[in-house]
Amino acid sequence: MKKTKFIFITVMSMILALTLSGIGQSSKASAATARTPVVFVHGLGGSDSNFIYIESYLRSQGWSSNELFAIDLPSKQGNQLLNSAAISQFVDNTLSETGHTKVNIVAHSMGGANSLYYILNRSGASKVDKLVTLGGANRLTTTTAPTGIKVTSIYSTSDTIVSPALSRLDGANNIQISLVSHIGLLLNSQVNTLIKTALNE
């Protein structure tokens, strides 16, 4: 009886010790994902589902699902203050979940301007490694690529929604293509290849 009681107390002590050892530990991922996580930012009237085709392509090229994150912005009208705050929180959550210190952002249309606003005005510069914009309304926020971030601006001469002149940024890798519409930038194999190249640089 005494021996059984001793064993019970010993086991309970071990369980208690293991439980207490976890208190105060960070919920951050114990090991970083293989690749820098990618955050997708949509444009006016868009949603996180806009990037399904691009996400599928990147998965076929070696990215895993837990490295790809698409945000659904609160302001579908592109409000810079609301959306940049949402991007800031989303990026922080992504970093915590993946164990990385930086993300790469792929943004479409007004998502480019919102992402640049986040980088320039909400301390995003230290948390973003690469920014790739697709028909980005970039110059609504700045005319110059942020320092320390590799920016690639992909735009089409056939875009009738966002002028190429609005997408080009001084200091960015500006890539002009043709025969692709504004929405088509989200569904084009050539654009997908350019995105992959930009993310791998």
- Residues forming the active site: 109, 159, 182
Q: Within 13 Å and on the Cβ side, how many CA atoms surround 25?
A: 10
Give the H or E element holding residue 10. helix 2-21
How many whole angstroms separate alpha carbon 8 and alpha carbon 161? 72
Sign, CA torsion 131/132/137/139: positive
Query: How are strands ordered across the β-sheet holding 38-41?
Result: 68-71, 38-41, 103-108, 128-134, 150-156, 173-177
| N-terminal to C-terminal alpha carbon distance within the chain | 69
Helices (H) and strands (E) in the chain, counts: 6, 6
Chain centroid to Cα 201, Å, comes to 16
Which single residue is written with the structure tokens 């995105």? Answer: 195
Residue 39 bridge partners (DSSP): 69, 105
